[in-house]
């Protein structure tokens, strides 16, 4: 009986071996062809998506270039005035805040786009009004403290600053970082909104990849440049201590340019608040947006230098609208503060 079972076992093995020798190679080859075809199809789909993402990212980057320039100027202006050895830590802290902003904004933008697209414009307008308000508040503060200080007053301020407790300096630094991150949130929202408009007709994976790419590249690019700008004076000082005459002259030139560059960026940063904020406000009010476009087109058709002036007309009108909007918001805020102050001082009945 055992010998019979062994014979059956050997017989089955022989049949299977013969079957494999006849057909097995063909089956293995068919499976390999199917696997290779699936892999090539997958790689082709990935390459197609990446190619689309690359093209869409370039388009979005071109459209957000203006806001990016404003973002650079504004952030360089926001972190100016920090003690030299604390400049890079402050820039890094603001950059971390910017990454957190975009981690919030990218999913939020995708959710709003999917479920409440009508909400994008009102949210952007609130952010735009806040930028205009901040710009006017800076101008108000600058003009209200414009009187020149005597040498004694200036010396006293320096002495008081030197005597300031480290905890108070950290608190001032934290306030500066908080303000910069808050402003970055609005500018990042504008960049994400413009990017989302570029990929509005695409599917979800492409939207996610493009938005994520723009968020990461813009943040690294802006704050990398800001870090370089705020350390220009240190680079100039380093070069002035080199043995090479050319290096020393280059260092002296950098030290001469750096203060002017920071002052220019401070002015451009304030102007950017009105340009970006005003642009958001005018785009959110259809008749005002059409008025800006119609005015620019009328100037362009006038001939001569009209074509040149037409290119700057929209920005100029957006800036004026931003200034007016900021003045109105500041007036409203001051009125509310005044009314609250009166309410607080009223005697209880």
* Cα atoms in the Cβ-side hemisphere of radius 13 Å centred on 108: 16
Q: How far, in Å, CA of 126 to CA of 186, rounded?
A: 9
Question: What's the 3-state SS for 124-141?
Answer: HHHHHHHHHHHHHHHHHH
- Residue 327 is predicted with a pLDDT of 93
pLDDT digits (tens, 9 = 90+) for 51-99: 666 676 666 565 555 566 666 666 666 666 666 677 788 888 888 998 9
Q: What is the pLDDT of residues 157-185, one digit of tens each?
A: 555 555 555 544 555 778 888 888 888 88
Q: What value does the mean pLDDT take over residues 98-104?
A: 91
Ranges of each domain in the chain: 44-339
Q: How far lies 134's CA from each of 137, 169, 321, 341, in Å?
A: 5, 23, 14, 22
Contact 59, 146 (CB under 8 A): no
User: Quick one: which of 133, 163, 137, 98 has its CA closest to 281?
Assistant: 133
| DSSP output for 3-54 | HHHHHHHHHHHHHHHHHIIIIIHHHHHHHHHHHHHHHHHHHHHHHHHHHHHH
* Residue with the two structure tokens 């910017």: 98
Nearest to 197 by CA among 70, 60, 58: 60
Measured in residues, the chain has a length of: 349
**Tens digits of residue pLDDT in 205-255:** 888 888 888 888 888 888 888 888 878 878 888 888 888 888 888 888 888
Helix, strand or coil for residue 244? coil
Whether 99 contacts 288, CB under 8 Å: no
Q: What is the pTM of this model?
A: 0.63
Instruction: Map residue 261 onto helix, strand or coil.
Output: helix
CA 80 to chain centre: 18
Q: Check if the beta carbon of residue 319 is closer than 8 Å to that of residue 275.
A: yes
255 CB contacts (<8 Å, ≥6 apart)?
A: 233, 236, 237, 240
What's the longest Cα–Cα distance across the chain?
Answer: 120
Report the C-alpha gap between 180 and 74 in whole angstroms: 9
| Alpha-carbon span 196 to 190, nearest angstrom | 10
Least confident of 47-51, 88-92, 106-110, 182-186: 47-51
The position carrying tokens 């068919």 is 30
Question: What is the distance between the alpha carbons of residues 348 and 124, in angstroms, rounded to a whole number?
Answer: 41
Return the number of other C-beta atoms located less than 10 Å from residue 54's C-beta.
13
The tally of CA atoms less than 13 A away on the side-chain side of residue 215 is 25
Instruction: Please answer whether residues 132 and 329 qualify as being in contact, where contact means their C-beta atoms are separated by less than 8 angstroms.
Output: yes
Segment 254-310, tens digit of pLDDT: 888 887 877 787 787 788 888 888 888 898 889 998 999 999 888 888 877 777 888
Compare 224 and 155 and report the one with higher pLDDT: 224
Cα dihedral sign, 87-90-94-99:
positive
Question: CA end-to-end span of the chain, whole Å?
Answer: 113
Nearest Cα to 56, choosing from 221, 203, 190?
Answer: 203
Angle at 184 between CA 179 and CA 185, to 5 degrees: 100
């Amino acid at each position: 009986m055992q010998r019979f079972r062994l014979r059956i076992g050997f017989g089955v093995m022989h049949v299977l071996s013969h079957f494999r020798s006849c057909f097995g190679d063909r089956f293995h080859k068919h499976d390999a062809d199917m696997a290779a075809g699936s892999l090539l199809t997958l790689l082709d789909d990935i390459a197609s998506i990446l190619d689309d993402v690359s093209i869409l990212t370039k388009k979005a980057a071109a459209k957000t270039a203006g806001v990016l320039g404003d973002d650079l100027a504004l952030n360089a202006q926001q972190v100016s005035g920090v003690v030299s050895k604390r400049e890079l830590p402050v820039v890094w802290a603001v950059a971390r805040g910017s990454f957190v902003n975009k981690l919030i904004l990218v999913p939020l933008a995708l959710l709003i786009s999917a479920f409440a697209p009508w909400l994008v414009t009102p949210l952007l307008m609130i952010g735009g009004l806040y930028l205009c308000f901040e710009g006017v508040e800076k101008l108000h503060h600058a003009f209200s403290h414009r009187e020149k200080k005597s040498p004694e007053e200036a010396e006293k301020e320096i002495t008081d600053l030197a005597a300031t407790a480290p905890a108070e300096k950290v608190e001032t630094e934290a306030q500066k970082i908080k303000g910069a991150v808050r402003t970055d949130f609005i500018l990042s929202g504008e960049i994400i909104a413009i990017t989302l408009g570029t990929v509005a007709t695409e599917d979800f994976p492409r939207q996610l990849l493009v938005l994520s790419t723009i968020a990461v590249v813009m943040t690294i690019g802006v704050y990398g440049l800001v870090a370089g700008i705020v350390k220009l004076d240190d680079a100039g000082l380093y070069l002035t201590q080199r043995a090479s005459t050319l290096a020393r002259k280059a260092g002296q030139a950098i030290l001469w340019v750096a203060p002017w560059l920071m002052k220019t960026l401070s002015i451009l940063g304030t102007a950017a608040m009105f340009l970006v904020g005003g642009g958001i406000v005018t785009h959110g009010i259809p008749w005002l947006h059409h008025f800006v476009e119609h005015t620019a087109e009328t100037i362009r058709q006038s001939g001569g230098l009209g074509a040149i002036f037409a290119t700057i007309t929209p920005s100029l009108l957006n800036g004026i609208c931003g200034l007016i909007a900021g003045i109105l918001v500041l007036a409203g805020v001051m009125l509310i503060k005044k009314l609250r102050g009166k309410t607080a001082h009223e005697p209880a009945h």
